[in-house]
A and B are shown apart, each in its own frame.
Chain A
Amino acid sequence: MPLLPVATLNFTPLVYTICVITIVYASLSTLRTIDVKELIAYSSVAHAAVYLLGIFSNTIQGIEGGILLGLAHGLVSSGLFICAGGVLYDRTHTRLITFYRGVTQVMPLFSLLFFILALGNSGTPLTVNFVGEFLSLYGAFERMPVLGVLASSSIVFSAAFTIFMYNRVAFGGSLSSFFATNIPDLNLREFVLLSTLVAFTVLFGIYPAPILDGLHYSVSTLIFSSDIQSLASPTAALSSVAFTRQHVSCRVLFL
């Protein structure tokens, strides 16, 4: 948004309102889905609105969080789609949550990786989604506190629908009684695919600095390149400077 600074600032309230309504509406419609794949797709919509909030927050933290959440969501969402479409649908030929139960008993390895990805989707600490979502919502809160608080409902909602899905799929009885033949656990190909995504999610969730360090310089120049932005929201710009100072790698900017 360095191309159109004035219009961006003027339109921010509109964009924020649209995003917050999107978060709540998309989350509520996600809660009432019974199709695994549909649930993951709708949760993507809710998360997309969160990183849109981050990008429009006009703070370093918000923009970096938006980018990071986009990256994290790419990892976790594709992992969950592999779980739902590539593994579960391949085994059972149904995608309805109502038909699943007790997958943990027959596919322990799958359930483990699926669980970590589900935690990632609900933005639990130690996953990169948490870092991204927290920074995005922090930026949004700094820009517009009331809408930021309302947007934070996405944390509760995403936890609700993700845990709902995982609970119904993984626990609650025995699946094997519905099948004449046994369902195999993950094969090597699926395991390698999923564990790669899980490894990156958790690794960058514990230590996101490599990504953030790469972003600091570009995001700082993005924000501080035009004078109009620091004039329009001096408090936001000042606190961004204070935040950036904490990062050793960014000290060079102020020398």
Chain B
Amino acid sequence: MWNVLGSLFLLLAILTMSSLMGSTDFDALSKANFNNVTQTFLFAGVFFAFAIKTPTIFLNG
């Protein structure tokens, strides 16, 4: 359940990237230039998800 909660943030981050760039292709996305605030939020989402999946301390289910 905790894993699903984390993956939700990953999904949100990916959806944000896809709605900003119009694609989820990795090569296309690596050409993106998100501004700093957007990057911070996207990173927080992605890292939250992967930190739960790894799992790291403070986020271990």
Contacts and interface: CB of A to CB of B under 8 A. Distances in A.
Contacts, number: 50
A81 B30 CA distance: 37
Interface stretch (A5-13, A126-134, A142-150, A174-182): A5-13
Interface stretch (A14-22, A93-101, A117-125, A186-194): A14-22
Given A3-B30, A4-B34, A6-B36, A11 B58 contact: no
A150 to B, nearest CB: 14
Contact of B39 (A4, A19, A21, A225): A4
Contacts of A197: none
Nearest to B59: A18
Contact of A15 (B17, B39, B47, B55): B47
Chain B residues touching A, range: 20 to 34
Given A4-B39, A6-B39, A26 B57 contact: yes
A225 B46 CA distance: 21
Interface in A12-49: 15, 18-19, 21-22, 25-26, 45, 48-49
A18 B30 contact: no
A3 B40 contact: no
Contacts of B43: 4, 7-8, 11
Given A6-B36, A11-B47, A48-B55, 10 more contacts: A3-B34, A7-B40, A7-B42, A7-B43, A15-B47, A18-B58, A45-B54, A48-B56, A49-B54, A52-B54
The 4 closest A-B pairs by CB, nearest first: A7-B43, A7-B39, A22-B57, A22-B56
Interface of A: 2-8, 10-11, 15, 18-19, 21-22, 25-26, 45, 48-49, 52, 225
